[in-house]
Amino acid sequence: MSDIATILGQRIRYYRKSAGWSQETLAELSGCHSTYIGQLERGEKNATVESVGKIASALNISLSTLFADIGIKDEKIYEIPTEYREFILNKTTEEQKRIYKILLEIDNYKNN
């Protein structure tokens, strides 16, 4: 699948896990089949606009949040924060907390 499908799937998985939901729960709340949710999360299927809208609504996030910076390849536009976001989204909540704590410690050290 395309990079876009893979990134979108990773984001769906991130927000689903952040909500503490199984794929089955997201499927039920969005009106999509749980197999389809799994295929999207793995980047195996291209999502329809309708299904992404239903999933975003179920997750209580905007479509703009779900699609933020996907597909930006222009070096002048593409910024490091986008790379950080993708890196962080692929970590567990516990790993994200540890990374954030390390960043705060680095910032604190730098400012002292």
pLDDT tens, 58-111?
999 989 888 887 766 554 444 566 667 777 877 888 998 999 999 999 988 878
Query: Domain 3-111 carries which CATH code?
Result: 1.10.260.40
Chain centroid to CA 49: 17
Q: How far is CA 92 from CA 18, 24, 45, 49, 111, in A?
A: 9, 19, 23, 27, 29
- Quick count: other Cβ atoms within 10 Å of Cβ 19? 14
Domain boundaries, the chain: 3-111
Task: Dig out the tokens for 53 from the structure.
Answer: 């809208």
pLDDT tens, 32-68?
999 999 999 998 999 999 999 999 999 999 898 888 8
pTM of the model: 0.66
